Amino acid sequence: MEKEKIIRLIPKKKKGFLRLIFSRLFIIGILVLFQLFMLLSIYGWFSEYFPHFTLFQTLFSLMMVIYLFNYDMDSTSKLTWLFIIMVSPVPATVLLWFTKRDIGNLTLKGRINYLVTMTKKKIPQDKEVINNPDIVGSCTDDLCRYLNKSGCFPVYANTDVTYFSSGEEKFESLIDELQKAEKFIFLEYFILDEGYMWGKILGILEEKAKQGVDVRVMYDGMCEITTLSFDYPERVEKLGIKCKAFSPIKPFISTYYNYRDHRKILVIDGKVAFNGGINLADEYINKIERFGHWKDTAVMLKGEAVQSFTLMFLQMWNISEKSPEWDRFLKYDCLSKYEHDKSGEEGFVMPYADCPLDDYKVGENVYMDILNRATDYVHIMTPYLILDGELETSLKFAAQRGVDVKIILPGIPDKKMAYALAKSHYKSLIKSGVKLYEYTPGFVHAKVWSSDNEKAVVGTINLDYRSLYHHFECATYMYKTKCIADIERDFHETLEKCREVTPETIKNEKLYYKFFGGLMKIFSPLM
């Protein structure tokens, strides 16, 4: 379908001040502000009419501080909450209680736990694979067992992985693979934005839906604020495509909105899967320019490991469904092993997901496992560097024991506050031997780790609190796959376009970044 036809079927959301004033977003904002005003008014009323309120406030705050010290939370987050309690004792302690009780997420958490429990044994681990001497010798079997405490994430052989060093490369292959779809297409992305990229994809999805292919699209509800209208699912369904937003924005205060679906998954017929940092918007393929040249990466899987991404999608899709659709989906054999040409394959692949509502810090622990086991190098590309104490210590310890730790970061930021926060870590990391580089042509959105010519991770997980603690995420862990050489080659080619961060460049950094980096570091766990 031509781009013009797609735009006519689904008109692009209008922009402008009047559209904002009369939008659903504006109404939601007004209602949320009203709720905040009422809470603050109640606090002010108590302060004015109860003479012993100050004593109560002091004792209440002291109790919350004791509670905080005994709460299972990383030390950086504790310091942030202590500062907030010091500034505004009662409102802060109420907010802490409200956040930790997670009242808005009790239903969501229960639903996810149910779905994970129901599907944990859908994909059994091949014992021959996990007992392979290579897997055991590298301790990847231990990592696999840890991951399977939180979900269903086997380690696979018989999977071919292709690495894409740009959004343009991924887009070209994605279009080719979509046109081959015969049974189903599942898309789950953090961002959809109308334009050339999504228009081209949507045209193929519409044609496939007409051919009887089961097409399902899911995106994060924050798109209703940033890129899409709130009725977008209904408009897409007119094309024969099933569509939904995860956690749509509604007009009430809740911790529910803290957990976003940051994953990027595309599965076709249970045979092919795409994963990585690339969303479905034009800047990701440099069709439009935002923050200079947009550097991003992805992987394409063909083979048995695609099963895991299929299951990840089905779990998220069924969160809002009254009755899970496992039986109907199983008729596609989408969770059965896919036989394909295995000639030339080597290595092992382990797709995994990270859920913010369980007790496992999967994303962070996989990264720290790579750092702690590395002997030669760990090379990283990440758009953000907002570290907790544990991850920063792991990075520094790896460098101090002689591992070559290099991190490529954006040269042109998308968020200045996040950029300032990243720079607040520079001095400490460099002092420990970590080498930092900034990509001069523009913005790095890739989430890539490679180590010792043996291990690599490509996925959606940034080095910041939101990815590591608050988002639904996913990634592809690889051990001794052929594409690791391509990943390392891409890292070095990208490195040639970077400026190195040195003590001198830190000294000469703009005052704006120095000031706000130090200031915002207090609140970094909340960002």
pLDDT for 49 beyond 70:
no
pLDDT for 70 beyond 90:
no
Contact 375, 256 (CB under 8 A): no
| Amino acid present at 501 | V
Which contacts of 23-26 are long-range, i.e. CB under 8 A and separated by 24 or more positions? 24/224, 24/230, 25/224, 25/225, 25/249
Kindly report, residue by residue over 308-347, the tens digit of the pLDDT.
Answer: 999 999 999 998 877 666 555 555 555 555 555 554 568 9
What is the domain-level CATH number for residue 368? Answer: 3.30.870.10
Kindly report, residue by residue over 424-436, the tens digit of the pLDDT.
Answer: 999 999 999 999 9
In a domain, 10, yes or no: no
C-alpha 50/C-alpha 38 separation (Å) is 18
Q: Which domain holds residue 53?
A: 17-105
In a domain, 297, yes or no: yes
Statement to judge: residues 190 and 319 lie in one domain: yes
Could you say which of 73, 105, 137 is where a domain stops? 105
Could you say which of 333, 352, 371 is where a domain stops? 352
Could you say which of 292, 325, 352 is where a domain stops? 352
Statement to judge: residues 494 and 408 lie in one domain: yes
Statement to judge: residues 509 and 520 lie in one domain: yes
Kindly report, residue by residue over 439-466, the tens digit of the pLDDT.
Answer: 999 999 999 999 999 999 999 999 999 9
pLDDT for 7 beyond 60:
no
Buried b (16+ CB within 10 A) or exposed e, 210-223: eeebbbbbbbbbbb
Q: What is the pTM of this model?
A: 0.86
Residue 58, pLDDT score: 72
Kindly report, residue by residue over 12-38, the tens digit of the pLDDT.
Answer: 444 444 444 444 555 555 655 655 566
Burial (0-12, 13-18, 19+ Cβ within 10 Å), 36: exposed
Helices (H), ranges, 276-318? 306-317
Statement to judge: residues 263 and 225 lie in one domain: yes
DSSP SS3 for 507: helix
Farthest CA pair distance, the chain: 80
Closest CA to 114 of 375, 463, 365, 358: 358
Residue 527, pLDDT score: 64
DSSP SS3 for 515: helix
Tokens of 264: 């990027």
Query: Which active-site residues does the annotation give?
Result: 262, 264, 269, 445, 447, 452
First to last CA, the chain: 41
pLDDT for 269 beyond 80:
yes
DSSP SS3 for 211: coil
Residue 8, pLDDT score: 37
Instruction: Count the helix, strand and coil residues of the chain and give each as a percent rounded to the nearest 5.
Output: 50, 20, 30
Kindly report, residue by residue over 196-237, the tens digit of the pLDDT.
Answer: 999 999 999 999 999 999 999 999 988 877 888 888 999 999
DSSP class of residue 166 equals: S
In a domain, 12, yes or no: no
